[in-house]
A = this chain, B = another copy of it.
Amino acid sequence: MNELLDQPVLFTIFGSTGDLTFRKLIPAFYNLEKRGLLGKNFKLLCIGRRAWTNEEYLKVVRPWVEKNSRFGFNEEIFQRLSSHIEYVKLEMTVLDDYKKLADYDRFENNQSSTVNIYYLAVAPSYFSIIADNLKNSGQLDRCAIHRVVLEKPFGEDLAHARSLNEVLCKAFGESNVYRIDHYLGKEMIQNIMTLRFANRVFEGIWNNRFIDNIQITASEIVGVENRGTYYDNAGALKDMVQNHLFQILSFIAMEKPSSLKAEDIRQRQSDVLENLRGLGSDEIKDNIVFGQYTASTDGSSLAYRQEENVASDSSTETFIALKLEVDSPRWKGVPFYIKTGKRLDERSTYVSIQFKPQATDLFVSQEPQQDLLIIKIQPDEGVYFRFNAKKPGTMNDISTVFMNFCQSCIYENRINTPEAYERLLLEAVKGDDTLFASWHQVELTWHYAESINLYRKKLALPIVDYAAGSDGPDASSELLKRDGREWIRNEITEESYTEN
Contacts and interface: CB of A to CB of B under 8 A. Distances in A.
Interface residues on A, range: 35 or more
A417 B200 CA distance: 33
A193 B360 CA distance: 12
A197 B257 contact: no
B201 A387 contact: yes
Contacts of A257: 362
A139 interface: no
Interface stretch (A169-177, A202-210, A322-330, A474-482): A202-210
B407 A404 contact: no
Nearest to A190: B390
Contacts of A388: 194-195, 198-199
B360 A197 contact: yes
Nearest to A357: B200
B392 A411 contact: yes
B416 A403 contact: no
Interface stretch (A54-62, A93-101, A394-402, A462-470): A394-402
A389 interface: yes
Interface in A331-381: 355-358, 360-364, 368, 370-371
Copies of this chain, tallied across the complex: 2
Given A200-B371, A398-B198, A407 B389 contact: yes
A389 B195 contact: yes
Given A199-B371, A201-B210, A500-B410, A194 B355 contact: no
B200 A389 contact: no
Given A383-B403, A403-B403, 10 more contacts: A193-B390, A194-B389, A194-B390, A198-B363, A198-B368, A198-B389, A199-B388, A204-B209, A260-B363, A392-B416
A204 B210 contact: yes
5 contacts: A198-B389, A198-B398, A392-B417, A401-B405, A401-B407
Contacts of A210: 200-201, 204
Contacts of A215: none
B371 A393 contact: no
Interface centre among A404, A405, A409 (most CB of B within 10 A): A405
A135 interface: no
Given A402-B405, A500-B410, A387 B202 contact: yes
A205 B202 contact: no
A125 interface: no
A367 to B, nearest CB: 9
A257 to B, nearest CB: 7
Contacts of A384: 403
A357 to B, nearest CB: 7
Contacts of A197: 358, 360, 362-363
Nearest to A393: B418
A358 B198 contact: yes
Contacts of A411: 392
Contact of A200 (B193, B194, B355, B402): B355
A490 to B, nearest CB: 15
A226 interface: no
Nearest to A204: B210
Nearest to A387: B199
Contacts of A246: none
Interface string A432-456: 1010000000000000000000000
